[in-house]
Chain A
Amino acid sequence: MITLSNVHKAFGDNKVLRGIDLTVPKGTSTVVIGGSGTGKSILIKCILGLVEPDSGVITVDGVDVTTQPRDAFLARFGMLFQGGALFDSLPVWQNVAFRLLRGSLKRPKAEAREIAIEKLRRVGLAPEVADRFPAELSGGMQKRVSLARAIAAEPEIIFFDEPTTGLDPIMSGVINDLIREIVAEIGATTITITHDMTSVRAIADQVAMLHAGKIRWAGPIGDLDTTDDAYVRQFVSGSPEGPIETLR
C-alpha cells in the first residue's frame, strides 16, 4: 500500500502540491486525473524520489520511502514515462532488459534477451523489433516498448504517466487493454496519470482527482459518474462551463 500524507512541493513561487493525502491499496489500479499542469507527474515523481517533497510523508507498505535503501526500493518499481523515455543509443531489447543487464537483478545476456523478447511479445511486438533502435519505431510502438520495459522485471508497483497521450484511439485502446491485462497478470499495485477519460474507465479500480494542488475527490470508479462534486463532473464531461477555470 502507498500512502501520501500532507505532501507539499513548490518550485519557487509555484506551489504545485499543497497537501496531498492519498492512499493506494495494494494490488489495485488507481488513476489520478486532473488538468494539465496540476502536478500529477510531480506526484509520482515524489513517490519515486525523483523529486524531493518540501514536506509530508510518503510510505510504501508502511515504511517511509526516505528511510529505505534506494536500490532495493527502486527495484520494486516499474515506470512508463509519458514520452517513453527510451534510451536512443540502445537497441529495443536492451532498453527492455536494461534492469536485467546490470545491478542486483543482472542475468546472463542471452537470458535477458530472451526475457526482453518475451515481454515484447506480451505487448504485441514481434521479435524482429528487438534489434531496432527506438528512433526507428512509431510512437505507439515506442509506448509499447516502454510498457515492456516497465514490466520486464515484474515489479510490485508500476506507474504509468499519460500512457495514451499522443496515440490514436485504437492504439490507446490497445495500450489500455494491455495495462489492464498485465496488471491483473502480475498483480501489481499501479498508479496511472491521465486526463483521458476512456483510459480512466478502462484501467481504474479507484480514481483520484487532483486540483489546485490537493486531492479534490477520490473514490471507486463506479462512483465517478454519480458524484456530486462539481469539479469532477466538469472534468468528466469536458465542459468549459464550471468551477474549473479555463483560459479562452
Chain B
Amino acid sequence: MTRILASIGAAVLSSLAALGRFVLFALGTVSHLFRPPFYPKELGHSLLQIGYFSLPVVGLTAIFTGGALALQIYAGGARFNAEAVVPQIVAIGMVRELGPVLVGLMIAARVTSSVAAEIATMKVTEQIDALVTLSTHPMKYLTLPRVLAATLVMPVLVGIGDIIGIMGGYLVGTQRLGFNGATYLQNTIDFLEPLDVTSSLVKGAVFGFIAALMGCYYGMNSGRGAMGVGRATKNSVVMAAILILASNFLLTEAFFSA
C-alpha cells in the first residue's frame, strides 16, 4: 500500500515539476517580448512559414469539413423537418468550433512537429550551444519569433478557414442539396453574431500560442540523438493537441456559458 502511494506521489510530483518547468518556459518566452534585442527577420520568416505556407492545408481541411457538415446537418435535420437550418448551423459550427479547432489541430500537426524537430535537431547538434556562445539568447532568437508569429497569424488562418468552411457548406448546399445561393449566404450572414467571430479569432490566437510554444518547449528540452528528436516531436504534437482541445472547452465555456 505504501509503495502504491509512493509511486502515485512520485508521479504527481513529477507532473507538477513538469508543469512548473513549462509555465516558467512560457513566462520566460513572454518576458522576452519586452526586452531587446529583437529579431524582426526571424519573425518575418516565421510568419511566412507558419502563416502563408499553412494556407493550403487550412483551406483543404476547412472546405471538406464545411461540406461534410452541411451533408450531416441536412441528413440529421431531415429527421425532424429542419433541413432549412443547414446554412445557420454550418456557419455557427464552423465559426465557433470546427474552424478554430481543426485549424489549431492542423497547425499542431504541421507547425508544432516541424518546430520541435528543428529545434531538437539544433540542440542535438550543439547549434543551441553555438547560439549562446555567439551572444544570442536561444529563447529570443528561436522561441519568441515562432510563438509570436503563430499567435499573430493563427487568427488570420482561422478566419480564412471559417470562410472557406462556410463556402464548402455553401457549395454542397447549393450544388447537392438544392439550396438557393443568395438565400444561403443571407441566412449565414444574418445568423452569425460578432461574438461568434470574436471567439473564433481569440481561440485562434490561443491555439497558435499553444502550438508554437509546445514545439519550442519540447525541442529545447529534447533528449539526445535521433530518438530524442523523435520523442520530442511526438510529445510536442500530442501535448499541443490535448492543450488545444482542453483550452477550446474552457474558452467555449468562457464565451458562451449562459
Q: A residues engaging B (CB < 8 A)?
A: 45, 48-50, 70-71, 74-75, 77-79, 81-83, 85-88, 98-99, 102-105, 149
Complex contacts, A102 vs chain B, CB 8 Å: 37, 39, 136
Known contacts: A85-B125, A99-B135, A103-B136. The answer to whether A79 contacts B130 by CB under 8 A is yes
Complex contacts, A149 vs chain B, CB 8 Å: 134
**Which B residue sits closest to A99, measured CB to CB?**
B134
Contact B133–A74 (Cβ < 8 Å): yes
5 extra A-B contacts, CB within 8 A, seeds A78-B133, A79-B133, A86-B130: A48-B133, A87-B130, A88-B127, A99-B134, A105-B135
Complex contacts, B130 vs chain A, CB 8 Å: 79, 81, 85-87
Contact B133–A50 (Cβ < 8 Å): yes
Complex alpha-carbon distance, A78 and B130, angstroms: 9
Number of chain B residues close to chain A: CB under 8 A: 13
Would you mind naming 23 contact pairs between A and B with Cβ atoms under 8 Å apart?
A48-B132, A50-B132, A50-B133, A70-B135, A77-B133, A79-B133, A81-B126, A81-B129, A81-B130, A82-B126, A83-B126, A85-B125, A85-B126, A85-B129, A86-B130, A87-B127, A98-B136, A99-B134, A102-B39, A103-B136, A104-B135, A105-B135, A149-B134
Complex contacts, A105 vs chain B, CB 8 Å: 135
Complex contacts, B122 vs chain A, CB 8 Å: 87
Q: Lowest 3 A-B CB distances belong to which pairs?
A: A85-B130, A85-B126, A79-B133
Contact B135–A71 (Cβ < 8 Å): yes
B126, B127, B132: residue with the most chain A Cβ atoms closer than 10 Å: B126
Q: B residues engaging A (CB < 8 A)?
A: 37, 39, 122, 125-127, 129-130, 132-136
Complex contacts, B125 vs chain A, CB 8 Å: 83, 85
**Which A residue sits closest to B141, measured CB to CB?**
A102
Complex contacts, B133 vs chain A, CB 8 Å: 48, 50, 74, 77-79
Contact of A74 among B39, B127, B132 (CB under 8 A): B132
Complex alpha-carbon distance, A74 and B130, angstroms: 11
Q: Smallest CB–CB gap between A45 and chain B, Å?
A: 7
Q: Smallest CB–CB gap between A99 and chain B, Å?
A: 5
Q: Smallest CB–CB gap between A234 and chain B, Å?
A: 29
Complex contacts, A77 vs chain B, CB 8 Å: 133
Contact B127–A75 (Cβ < 8 Å): no
Complex alpha-carbon distance, A211 and B133, angstroms: 26
Complex contacts, A82 vs chain B, CB 8 Å: 126
Contact A85–B37 (Cβ < 8 Å): no
Complex contacts, B129 vs chain A, CB 8 Å: 45, 50, 81, 85
Complex alpha-carbon distance, A2 and B3, angstroms: 50
**Which B residue sits closest to A78, measured CB to CB?**
B133
Contact of B135 among A45, A50, A75, A85 (CB under 8 A): A75
Q: Smallest CB–CB gap between A134 and chain B, Å?
A: 10
B126, B130, B132: residue with the most chain A Cβ atoms closer than 10 Å: B130
Complex alpha-carbon distance, A74 and B125, angstroms: 20
Q: Smallest CB–CB gap between B37 and chain A, Å?
A: 6
Q: Smallest CB–CB gap between A105 and chain B, Å?
A: 8
Q: Smallest CB–CB gap between B203 and chain A, Å?
A: 31
Complex alpha-carbon distance, A105 and B135, angstroms: 10
Q: Smallest CB–CB gap between A210 and chain B, Å?
A: 20
Complex alpha-carbon distance, A49 and B39, angstroms: 23
Complex alpha-carbon distance, A88 and B134, angstroms: 16
**Which B residue sits closest to A87, measured CB to CB?**
B127
Q: Smallest CB–CB gap between A53 and chain B, Å?
A: 16
Complex alpha-carbon distance, A50 and B132, angstroms: 8
Complex alpha-carbon distance, A240 and B39, angstroms: 52
**Which A residue sits closest to B130, measured CB to CB?**
A85
Q: Smallest CB–CB gap between B94 and chain A, Å?
A: 36
Q: Smallest CB–CB gap between A102 and chain B, Å?
A: 7
Contact B126–A98 (Cβ < 8 Å): no
**Which B residue sits closest to A70, measured CB to CB?**
B135
Complex alpha-carbon distance, A79 and B132, angstroms: 10
Complex contacts, A103 vs chain B, CB 8 Å: 37, 135-136
Q: Smallest CB–CB gap between A124 and chain B, Å?
A: 21
Complex contacts, A70 vs chain B, CB 8 Å: 135
Complex contacts, B39 vs chain A, CB 8 Å: 102
Complex alpha-carbon distance, A189 and B39, angstroms: 32
Complex alpha-carbon distance, A34 and B132, angstroms: 26
**Which A residue sits closest to B132, measured CB to CB?**
A50
Complex alpha-carbon distance, A79 and B126, angstroms: 11
Complex contacts, B136 vs chain A, CB 8 Å: 98, 102-103
B37, B127, B134: residue with the most chain A Cβ atoms closer than 10 Å: B134
